[in-house]
Amino acid sequence: MVLEIILTFLKAFAVGGAICLIAQLLINYTKITSGKILVIFLLSGLVLQAFGVYQFIVDFAGAGATVPISGFGYLLAKGAMEGAKESLFKAITGGITAAGMGITAAIVFGYIFAVIFHSRSKKN
């Protein structure tokens, strides 16, 4: 049991780290800005899941695959694919329903913390 948990952490570390390493390679060797990198990783997660590949990475690595932004794309595609089984309505809304928590959290926490805290870069 303990060994299993340690192994899960190791897998999450390796896969999550590897995804970030690919991002750093893009930063170092191309002129892609960080905003574009986020979009690229989101879309690659979405496309990989549309072909059914990302599910295997998630099953293997757990949080190592879901915490990076590509996991967000995976969630969007997965929701849409599951909704498509039921109706046209759920095929259209399924993606944003699945990703609803992430988007809501980002907007609500984002706005609250932006109002509470002040930008530090100007003070330093």
Partner 1 sequence: MKKRQFYNKNYLEYVKGISPKTNEKRSLFRAFIVGGFICCIGQAVRYALEGIFQLKGDELSAYVSLVMIFLGAFLTGLGVYDRIGKFAGGGSIVPITGFANSVVSPAMEFKTEGYIYGTAAKMFIVAGPIIVFGVAGSVLVGLVYYVGYMIF
Query: Shortest approach of partner 1 to residue 71 CB, angstroms?
Result: 7
Give, as ranges, the residues between 14 and 33 that touch partner 1 (CB under 8 A). Answer: 14-28
Give, as ranges, the residues between 57 and 96 that touch partner 1 (CB under 8 A). Answer: 61-64, 66-73, 75-77, 79-81, 83-85, 88, 90-92, 94-96
Q: Is 106 in the site for partner 1 (CB under 8 A)?
A: yes
Q: Is 9 in the site for partner 1 (CB under 8 A)?
A: yes
Nearest to 77 by CA among 59, 91, 56, 62: 91
Pair 13, 60: CB distance under 8 Å: no
Nearest to 75 by CA among 60, 58, 92, 90: 58
For residue 3, the tally of other CB atoms under 10 A from its CB is 7
Residue type, 73: G
Distance (Å, whole) CA 118 – CA 93: 36
Residues in the interface with partner 1 (CB under 8 A) total 82
Q: Is 42 in the site for partner 1 (CB under 8 A)?
A: yes
Cβ proximity to partner 1: between 31 and 118 the closer is 118
Query: Shortest approach of partner 1 to residue 31 CB, angstroms?
Result: 14
Query: Shortest approach of partner 1 to residue 53 CB, angstroms?
Result: 13
| Binding residue (CB under 8 A) for partner 1 from 1, 3, 31, 35 | 35
